[in-house]
Amino acid sequence: MQDPRLRLFAAAVLSLAAFASTAGAVAALVWWLLVTPRTKVLPRPGVFLPLIAMIAVTAALSAWGGGAGLSYFIRMTVILLLAAWVYAGTEEGEMLAVAVWALGDRVGFEIGLIAEMGLTGLAVIRQDIEHVRVAMTLKGIRPGVRSIVPLAANLIVTEIRRSDEIARLLVVRGYTIGGRICPLFRTEPGDVLASIMALIPVLLSTLPLRDVFILLG
């Protein structure tokens, strides 16, 4: 999808559909399989599999406590797949452009700037984790519970410090509130069709499917 407005719209409605019901999640998964480059947009297994494992553990605990563990696992996994697709496809400046297009130069610019900084922060955190991994290798430290806690604390402190530095830099450069940009978007015919198709999972997630099947029966 070339147009970031439609990409974000599709991701938002599909996430809602996946979150709302298992049927919506399955329909969103079908959409993901049909429209996106599928596994090509997924992060490397070392990043993706631990996230899936976390969802699986939570789902297992939920099921063990009598909750809808399987449904939770399906819904959250689909949301994760959608997030990976949006993250991989978003280029620098697109969030700012969409926010300004939707909400204007003042509020839109603020929200867009925060979103851009958040996305940049994710890439920086990835680099920081890689640096820590190299440092641990050089020091002969094996990854484990003992090493993970101080490392996580270190990463959080580093990110807070970095945010503070960026805020000071914005002040030094005279930033107060809002800004002006002229966003340009390129829309391909397939983008519109895919966005319309994204509404189907939303409809399925809101329909009382069980009642429909009872009526059909």
CB of 145 to another protein, least distance (A): 15
CB of 131 to another protein, least distance (A): 4
Q: Which residue ranges make up the site for another protein (CB under 8 A)?
A: 131-132, 134-141, 147, 150-151, 153-154, 157-158, 161
3-class state of residue 27 by DSSP: helix
CB of 122 to another protein, least distance (A): 19
Q: Output 62 or 158, the one with its CB closest to another protein.
A: 158
Choose among 142, 94, 81, 92: nearest CA to 122: 92
CB of 156 to another protein, least distance (A): 10
Q: Output 66 or 140, the one with its CB closest to another protein.
A: 140
Question: How far apart (Å, rounded) are the C-alpha atoms in residues 121 and 158?
Answer: 11
Q: Output 110 or 162, the one with its CB closest to another protein.
A: 162
Question: How far apart (Å, rounded) are the C-alpha atoms in residues 17 and 27?
Answer: 8
Q: Output 153 or 196, the one with its CB closest to another protein.
A: 153
Instruction: List CB contacts of 5: < 8 A, sequence separation 6 or more.
Output: 98, 101, 102, 185
How is residue 198 annotated by DSSP?
A: T
